[in-house]
């Protein structure tokens, strides 16, 4: 087969030279149209005829050459003896050598990967935790059929002339999860002598005017509590707190008395009972299912009789009872009641009994 290879190259050279000659002839053609010359169509026809004759001649020459190669056989023999003869060592072609080399490289790579695969120690795996998450969570702390005990401390915020600090305790029973009926008690009297704040004293001294004030002894109320809102919030990027907001209101009694400011040398007052109302709002944050802290704003409202700002004379007895107007106790109090309201802030904690509870409905 190696002997016929030059003949094929000769055929290819003839074909290439014919193509080159055709392109050169076309490149040298003059396409200018002078006077007396034939039109473009005639030149194109002549060029096409010449190219066709050239191609025919080249095809005939190539055909004769191929026929000679086929007739001669080029010494090539495709008999079965050569096909069955064993391949001598070292007589392989380049393609065979290349194929063998490529097979060895791939085999080496596969061998390395196979050698690396062996028994390995599996890395320790953590314990898998499965937790069911519900779109609507159950209430964190049920209040139904539980008793709430809530001690607290209170102080007023809207009276600049006198403060009413108190300690208190509330006891509520929740007959539903949002409604409770209860009582609360407040004790205010920590000292017998109550002269008011420094502001009251400086006002009296600078203007020769006195502002009547009262002292509170205690308060007791029957209350209703309603919880319209509850939820949770995240704090410190770590903890989740449950909370609820409530409205409270009720009716009760207060024991108060005027503080003798106008004529303290003569006048002295005893505590009296007043009918009082209270209304407020609060928020409770649960620490656990039975313990919480809370703060609330509550307004206490009642009718109060303040000290009379007028002082009678010792020498005049207006009612003829034999007692001067200054010493007559009926003149010590003002003639009408005054609507009084004081807003107090309560801060405390709540304990629910019993400590535990059971949900009746499934999640």
Domain that holds residue 267: 146-353
pLDDT of res. 38: 47
Domain assignment present for residue 221? The answer is: yes
Domain assignment present for residue 129? The answer is: no
Is the model more confident about 284 or about 87?
Answer: 284
Domain assignment present for residue 348? The answer is: yes
Domain assignment present for residue 35? The answer is: no
Tens digits of residue pLDDT in 296-309? 999 999 999 999 98
Q: In this structure, are strands 166-174 and 239-259 parallel, antiparallel, or unpaired?
A: unpaired
pLDDT of res. 317: 80
Number of compact structural domains in the chain: 2
Of the listed ranges 127-136, 163-172, 322-331, the one predicted with least confidence: 127-136
Confidence at 328, pLDDT banded by 50, 70, 90: confident
Mean pLDDT of the chain: 75
Domain assignment present for residue 330? The answer is: yes
pLDDT of res. 119: 55
Confidence at 100, pLDDT banded by 50, 70, 90: very low
Given a cut of 70, is residue 315 above it in pLDDT? yes
CATH number at residue 305: 2.40.160.20
Residues 62 and 150 in one domain: no
Residues 202 and 347 in one domain: yes
Q: What are the angstrom distances between the C-alpha of 73 and each of 12, 88, 297? A: 19, 25, 119
3-state secondary structure 229-266: EEEEEEECCCEEEEEEEEEEEEEEEEEEEEECCCCCCC
Domain assignment present for residue 105? The answer is: no
Q: Which of 311, 300, 211 is nearest to 258 (CA)?
A: 211
Domain assignment present for residue 339? The answer is: yes
Given a cut of 60, is residue 131 above it in pLDDT? yes
Is the model more confident about 225 or about 260?
Answer: 225
Residues 167 and 58 in one domain: no
Is the model more confident about 14 or about 74?
Answer: 14
Given a cut of 70, is residue 164 above it in pLDDT? yes
């Amino acid at each position: 087969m190696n002997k016929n290879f030059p003949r094929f190259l000769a055929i290819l050279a003839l074909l290439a030279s014919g193509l080159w000659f055709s392109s050169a002839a076309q490149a040298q053609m003059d396409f200018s149209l002078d006077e007396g010359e034939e039109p473009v169509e005639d030149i194109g026809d002549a060029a096409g005829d010449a190219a066709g004759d050239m191609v025919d001649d080249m095809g005939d020459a190539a055909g004769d050459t191929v026929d000679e190669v086929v007739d001669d056989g080029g010494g090539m023999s495709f008999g079965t003896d050569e096909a069955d003869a064993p391949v001598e060592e070292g007589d392989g072609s380049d393609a065979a050598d290349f194929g063998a080399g490529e097979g060895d490289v791939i085999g080496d790579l596969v061998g390395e990967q196979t050698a690396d695969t062996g028994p390995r120690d599996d890395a320790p795996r953590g314990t898998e935790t499965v937790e069911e998450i519900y779109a609507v969570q159950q209430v964190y702390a049920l209040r139904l059929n539980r008793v709430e005990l809530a001690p607290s401390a209170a102080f007023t915020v809207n009276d600049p002339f006198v403060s009413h600090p108190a300690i208190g305790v509330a006891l509520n029973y929740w007959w539903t999860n949002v409604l409770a009926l209860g009582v609360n008690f407040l004790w205010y009297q920590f000292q017998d002598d109550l002269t008011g704040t420094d502001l009251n004293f400086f006002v009296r001294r600078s203007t020769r005017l006195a502002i009547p004030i009262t002292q509170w002894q205690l308060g007791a109320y029957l209350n209703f509590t309603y919880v319209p809102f509850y939820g949770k919030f995240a704090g410190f990027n770590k903890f989740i707190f449950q909370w609820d907001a409530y409205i409270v209101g009720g009716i009760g009694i207060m024991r108060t008395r005027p503080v003798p400011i106008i004529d303290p040398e003569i006048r002295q007052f005893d505590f009296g009972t007043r009918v009082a109302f209270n209304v407020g709002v609060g928020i409770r944050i649960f620490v656990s299912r039975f313990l919480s802290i809370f703060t609330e704003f509550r307004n206490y409202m009642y009718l109060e009789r303040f000290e009379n700002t007028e002082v009678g004379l010792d020498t005049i007895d207006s009612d003829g009872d034999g007692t001067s107007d200054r010493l007559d106790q009926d003149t010590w109090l003002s003639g009408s009641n005054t609507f009084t309201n004081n807003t107090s802030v309560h801060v405390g904690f709540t304990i629910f009994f019993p400590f535990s509870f059971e949900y009746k409905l499934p999640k």
